[in-house]
Amino acid sequence: MIKQFFLLVFILCHFLGTVNAATTPPQLQSESWVLIDRLTNTTLAHKNADKRVNPGNTVLLMVLYTTEQAIKENVINRSSLVTINNDALSIPPLNAARFYLEPNQTVSVSNLEKAVAVMGANDAAVALAEGVYKTVERFIEKMNDNAKALGMKNTHYSSIIGANTNQHYTSARDTLILANALLNDCPELSDFWTIKSINNGVLNHNNSNSFLWRTDSIKGLHRSNFQMQSWESVIYYSRDYLEANTRFSRELLAVTMGADSDRENTTDTMKLVNWGADNYKTLLLYPANETIDRLPVELTDDAKVRVGVKENLYVTLPRDAILQKGEKGFSATVTRLDPLVAPIKQGEKIGEITVSFSGKVIANTELIALHDVQKSNFWLRQLQRLKAIFGLQ
């Protein structure tokens, strides 16, 4: 099976053709930015990724995450109705994005989330905060608790909407951590990110993420500006495609923060995403639960156990590096936990597989047993011991 993988790499390299693009990161005007491949959690490029900056309206992503966590903890239900009070109308500034909720109107938690996710509605965010934890202050406490739990080391919130205070800050990397958590932990929101428009019964509101109209490969998440002075984008790019009869998956997550204008942010974000899509390849080395190797096992009639990986094992590499090195650039090593003695349970760790490219380790993960291995009877075990003593195995 290891040889089959390298055959796949060889076929891929043969059909990719010549690549002229360099892997030097693009030059952007934004204050800070970061790009990762989600399938391998590989950082492809970044600048000032840990610099503390005003989160602008990306704070609304944490409003959504905190609401989802409250739903999981049974604090509130997705179908629960929230009665809109004057705070939802008076707290957001006049120029803030609004769904135009009305006093004493009742709206479900799910529909408020949709308004926040699709158009960045500030009034819906305030309504969610009060509907979930009764007060905005308590909701902000939970937002900061969640930021800490996610490992957002350069983030602190003092507001549930855009605010200009010293105690309200985040970073491009922390924003990416949050976006990744929304994609991984909040599948109920997955359909919201690509909704093109929503209606409040009177007005039609387009999705604030204008990148959705550029390509079907962009699946969300957020785009906004803060006081028309700082523009931010959080873009999820996902594409499945065939190349040389091989199916590939690309998932990129890009964050750009602190652009001076709409045009600058648009140019920077598209340049970054296109650069990542054009210059890197993500290869599926080993599919989950498929046999990679067969390892000898003592004290069993089966003699060997089939081993594989629990989850799909991907690697991300520069496209031109794959072309230059080809099959010869890759190597794979299987190490086993000795001694392997029956009984063995399906899913039990058996060893590890390490994949290298040009002498550098690019992937390492556990090997697990793909089936149960039963212990043999007493006499067969004695025979196996004798064979081992006389070197007959």
Average pLDDT per consecutive 10 residues, the chain (393 residues; last block may be shorter):
46 38 81 96 96 96 98 97 94 92 96 97 97 97 98 98 94 98 96 95 94 94 88 95 71 97 96 95 90 88 88 90 79 89 92 93 94 78 66 62
Strand partners, 259: 231
Measured at the CA of 167, the angle between CA 161 and CA 171, to 5 degrees, comes to: 75
| pLDDT value for 195 | 96
Burial class (CB in 10 A: 0-12, 13-18, 19+), 66: buried
Burial class (CB in 10 A: 0-12, 13-18, 19+), 47: middle
For 56-65, give one letter per residue: b (16+ CB within 10 A) or e.
Answer: bbbbbbbbbb
Distance CA 78, CA 114 (A): 11
Contact criterion met (CB below 8 Å) for 330 and 315: no
Q: Which two tokens stand for residue 161?
A: 């909407």
| pLDDT value for 381 | 59
- Domains observed in the chain: 19-281 (3.40.710.10), 287-389 (2.60.410.10)
Is 205 in a helix, a strand, or coil?
strand
Q: Which of 173, 171, 77 is nearest to 132 (CA)?
A: 77
What is the residue type of 1?
Answer: M
Distance CA 371, CA 324 (A): 39
| pLDDT value for 384 | 63
Contact criterion met (CB below 8 Å) for 125 and 116: yes
| pLDDT value for 19 | 34
3-state secondary structure 65-115: HHHHHHHHCCCCCCCCEEECCHHHHHCCCCCCCCCCCCCCCEEEHHHHHHH
| pLDDT value for 246 | 63
| pLDDT value for 388 | 64
| pLDDT value for 11 | 39
- Strand order across the beta sheet in which 218-226 lies: 42-47, 32-37, 246-259, 230-243, 218-226
DSSP-derived secondary structure letter, 200:
-
The CA dihedral of 201, 205, 207, 209, to the nearest 10 degrees, is -150
User: At residue 245, what are phi and psi to the nearest 5 degrees?
Assistant: 65, 20
Q: Find the helix or strand (DSSP H, E) in which 146 lies.
A: helix 136-150
Distance CA 374, CA 345 (A): 8
Is the bond into 221 cis (omega within 30 degrees of 0)? yes
| pLDDT value for 320 | 87
